[in-house]
Structure formats: structure tokens, C-alpha cells
Structure 1
Amino acid sequence: MADSAAPIRQITKDEVYDAVPPTDFSQMLEIDRHLNRSTAFDKIISATHDHFWDPLDTKYIDFKDDFDPDTTDFIPDVMIPALLTDYVSNHFADKPADRIRFKSQVGRWVMSSILHGEQGALNLSASLCHVLRDPGAQEYAANQTREEGRHVTAFAKYIIARWGSPLPCGTVLAGLLQEIVHAPEVYKKIIGMQMLVEGLAMGAFATIFKEWNDPLVKRLTQLVMTDEAFHHKFGKIWADRTIPKLSAEEHEIVENWAAHCFQTLLFNLVAPHQMTAIYAQFGLDPDKVMQGFQEVATDEARREHMKEGTNIFRVLVKTLWNAGIITDRTKSFYAMYIDFDEFKAEGDEMVGDAIADEGIQYLKTINFGINAGALNDVKAAAVAAE
């Protein structure tokens, strides 16, 4: 965290992202604010009508079903890092029922982490409302706050339906979320949440949508992606208007912050030491799990996994690369895991965009009664994903 006595360096290069102290409401009462409202986010704000959905309305999503996560093998083994170790795999060799329950609890931890991330996004969006001076940017932040609120409601309802209650937030994710939410600098909030955490979420949702054999979670993640795709654009607009104008010193500050967030997520987010309570529940020694994980989680293994388009960490690197944040100074660190030439060939399209687009077309059939054929397209996509 920054020293509270030190001056805050906002690194503002565009008036759209001009910020005021959150305790100085008087600046929000200045007349000139309303005479110079930016139109940069108008399309994103207006588009919210196209992807409106309500987690409390069963016509959008119904959380009541007879799915039992403790008896249904619905998560692929490759998505359970601990099962890649001989120690954990051998432990469950003659315990198929416990193995399924173990995978289910790891899924519960994953979804709980997503819930806590959505709570962080809600609080951060709300905090932007207090500091962004431009009325257009402020309205966008308020709009995102509303959407993050429904995500918190939806993921909580899903977890309660499947497991009864969420699990506590892992210490690493909790620490990073607090660091981002409480950061007084707007650039830290936007890079940390709007670009990295939102980018990670899009990768995670796309993977879960494609890989988990649970119809309810497929519907949920697609609905959330219809919102997240727009949230990610807010960060992209900031990058397009800010990164090219940075001095060398400022770029280094921004680049270091992005690398800090990425490294924290890469080496800790899915590490076994964040799930020790689950291992103990199934008679596993957390230290032995960690030892086995260190043997299989090599840099070479990470590179292989990051070749997959939906790998969440690959999505994060691509987000930073497309934004122009990564320079030769830090490129070598990311290049340990990523082939940057592949990004050039792929263009700017982000993983999950196509799934989100299909979801928006489906929502239009509910909200406006148009494009009725989209419903069949979405259903076909979900079947193909299974």
C-alpha cells in the first residue's frame, strides 16, 4: 500500500480519467463538470440494455435443479491441479466417491474465489464513482457497479444451490483485491481490476463454460460474460488514451504495477497452499501436496498450458501486451511462458468475446423479443461445448 502521507500520483493523461480525492465532494458540485461530459463511454452505457439480465428472475436463470455436485463428476481432471501429482492421484485410486467429492470441493473453492473477485469489482467500481470527475466516466462506473452487484448475487446463489455456502477467500487473492480496491491511484485500479482481474475472469468463465459439465454454470458464466466483455473495454479505452502519452518514467511505474499484479496471480492463485483446508478434509497432507505440485508445476509445464487460448494467465499477458504496457524491459519475464508472435497473429479479439456475443443475442430474445433464432444458436453452442 502507498504511504498515506506521500502525495498521490494519478498519472492522468486524459481528462476522462481525471480524479479527485474521495473525501472532497465539493468538486462534484462544480458546474463545469456538467458542461464538459465525455462521450467516450456512451456506447458502453447504452448497450447495457442489450445485455440486461436478472439473477432473481427465472426466465434468465433458474438456480433450482436436482444436480448433485458430490456425486456428479462434472469437472475434468486436468482442471484440478492437485490431481496432477502422484501423491493425490494415488490417494484417491481406490476411493472413486471421495475423488468426486474432492473435485467438487475444489470447484467450490474456484467459484468462491470468483465470488470474492466479483465483490472486489463491485467495491472498486463504486470507489471510482467517488473519484472520477467526468460525469460520463462516473456514469459508466455506476453502471458497472450495478452489473457487478448482480454478479455477486448470481454467484452466491449458484454456490448456495450447489454447496450450501461459499469458502473463505484465499489469502493471496484477498490481499491483492484489497490492494487494488484501496489504491488511491486510478491507474492502479484500472490496470489491476479492469484489465487484469476482469481479463482473468473472462478466461476463467470461458474455460468453465466449455469444460464443466454443469448446465447451470454454463448459463451463469455466459450471462456474466455478456457484462464482463464491456467492463474490459473500459480498461482498453484507458490504455488507448493513456499508454502512448506516458513518459519513460511513468511507463516504468505502470509496467511495474502490472507485472506485480500478474506475478502475484500467476504464482499463487491456484497454488495448493491456498486450499489446505480442503486437503485436510480428505486426509491429505498439505505439505506433501505442495511438494508434489512443485515437481509438476515447472516453467516448462506452465509454458505448455499457456499455449491454450483460454488459459487465464495467457489471457492476462495478452491483455497487457495489446494495451502496450509490456516493453522490452519486462518482456523477457513474460516470454518465459508466452510466444508473443502468436498474439500478433490473433489480433485484438479476446477469449470469451464470441461466447459473450452469443449470450447477448440470446438476451435480446428475452428483453426485446427479436432475433428469435439466436436461442437455438446458443443452445447449439452449449451442446457443442459439452
Structure 2
Amino acid sequence: MTENYIQTKISDERKFRLHFLDGMRGIAAFYVLLTHLWLYQGENLPPWITIPTKFVRYGSFCVVVFIVLSGYCLMLPVARSQAGYISGTLLDYFKRRARRIIPAYYAVILFCCLLSLGILALERFTPFQWQTIDKDMFYPHFSIVDVFIHSLLIQNFATNTQTYMLNIPLWSVSLEWQIYFLFPLLFLPIRRRYGWISTIAIAFFLGLIPHYFFNGYMDVSHPWLMGSFTFGMLAAEITFSQAPFLIKLKNSLPWGQLSIVFAAIAIVTEWNKLGIAAWIYESIAGIAAACLIIDCTKIIVSERKKHIILQILENTWVIKLSAFSYSWYLTHAPVITLLRQLLTNLNMSPTAFAITLYAVGIIVSLAFAYVFYLTIEQASYQKSKNWLTRTNH
């Protein structure tokens, strides 16, 4: 959910762009959509549908990827500067973060409110009645209080899970917004004074306090992902720091193989029957993402032959998809939930329902997100950027 690309320089002043970061973001957003469609696909389906779709059950790992990417991208200029501080003032930093995520975030809240009003009007004046299922990610009967809490980006502190039903995926936006404040005010100072072990330990301690000391309070919003954010920060330090120890670490470990190993461990430990806590396997997934980022960056800097994963992440269509991945992430839940509702009323066979859900859900959510991106995200970002440029002069 950061800028569309990171541009930097290596020692001989050649410019390069880490396009694969955008590719990771785009693929993660698409995978989240598939995961949520999988939740809606229904039962009594043939094996040729149920078996392949089981591989899209790991949607929470994609949120981990988003958080690790944020840590990496925010830390990258700090690591390259060797100063240990963010560029510019704190106010400039918060302005950049706000103009990146807030306009589109508020716009999707408004969209959910308008959609809810339309559904409530249909229920009042027509025979139509909204049919809710337990797995729905949008519910039109939310309250004004829910809207207010979302507008403050504090819905992840709510004790009533019904609050999230305005648009469930928005929980991760509130968490990331809060991490934006912790990055310069807490994580960077601790890293400068006490080092990386203390930084990562404190991030996990803060994230796990609600889980272990308050009976799982906030578990639905995964606050332990603060730890994965610091994994991304460390990955940036490893790839661009001039510290001898980190240079040796970067060059001595097989980061590509490690990313595969940790990804496999995360997938296995996610299996419910093992009873392993979510924060453990999601943190392992965060390590896998950080290792992959280090490996891909090393390949690009050294101009070595790109492996198949990096080629996929840098594919032209994947990069184009990533341009509006944030809009896609914000809008897909109400769009596919509304589609699920419409298809349910058609009394289709389970197989026809699942096929239509996937085919139409992908196309419609993609088209809606692209229009949303052009009319809201891109336009508001450019306007706010121009306004900030004028005010700074």
C-alpha cells in the first residue's frame, strides 16, 4: 500500500527500480480476492473445483506480505542514507502517508454507506431481503457508530466483531495506519539505540499483549503483524546497509532457498489440526517474505539471471495489476458480497454458482477497482500532492 515503485541508486549511480515489490503487492491483492471468493463458493462441489481452490485458503499470509512490504519500503531510504532517520520532517512524513491511503479509504467508506442505504431502501419498499451468511465481509446493517470508528481508523480496537462488517478487509488499513506512527516514533529510535533484536522483540511484545494478557482481545485484527513490519525494516537494512556485519550476512545466506523453506513451514503450521497460534505461522510467513525481498533485490543489484519467481513478479501484466491493487483491496469485499447475494437469489446449482462466482467476481471486482482507482485514488493523490507542493512553497 505504498508508492507504486521504489527508485534508488547503487554505487556507480546507475538507476534501477524494484518493480518486483509492486508485483508482490499486486499478486497478494489478487490472492486475497481469490481467498474471499473461496469462502463464498459453497458446498457440494465436484473435486475439480474443491481441490484446486483449497490452495487459496492462505489469504492472511497476503496481509503479512503487505505489512512486510510497508516496512521494507519505509525503511529503504533510511537504510540507504545511513543516517538512521526518515527524510524531511515528521510532519512531511505523515502528510505523505496520509495522502497515500486516506482519500481512497474514506471514499470506500462512503461507497459502503451509499450501498447500505440502497439495500435498506430495497428492503423497505420492495420484497427484497438481504440474506446474510456467517462468512460475509460486508453487511448493510451497520451503525453510525461503526462508521465513526472506521473514520478514525480505530476499528481494530473494537470489541464487537459486528463493527468490522462495514467492510472487513479495512481492519488491515487501520493497523497499517497505526504502524505508520510507530515507525518513526518508536521502532527507529529503538533500532538506533538498542539494535534490531530489541526492535523486533518490542514490536512483537506490543502486538502480543492483547492476545496473552487480555484474553485474545484484538486477535481478529492481528496486531502481532507489527513484528512482521520490523522484518521488512530489517530486510531493507540488510540489502543496503554498509555495516560490515550486515554485508556479510547479506552475502553469506541463501535467501532464495530460505524464503521457500520458511514459506513451506508457514503453510504446514497453518493447518488447524496442529493448534498452532496464528501469530506464529503468520510471523514465519513474514520471514519468508523478507527473505524473498532480500533475494530479489540482490539479484537486481548484481544483475544476475532472474529466477522464475522474480520474472513473474516483474511481469508487465502483474505490474499493471499492482497499480490499482490498493483500490482492489479496499473495494472487493462489498462488490463480491453483493454478487454473492444476487447469485444466491438465482437458485443456481452449486457448480454453476461457484463457476459464475469466480468468473464474474474477478471481472467485476477488477473493473470496479480500476474505475475507483482512476476516479478516486489517482485523482485524489495527484490533487493532494499538488496542494502539498503549493503549501510547502
**TM-score scaled by length of structure 1:** 0.30
Indicate the structure whose relative CO is greater, using CA pairs within 8 Å and at least 6 residues apart. 2
- Greater share of residues in helix: 2
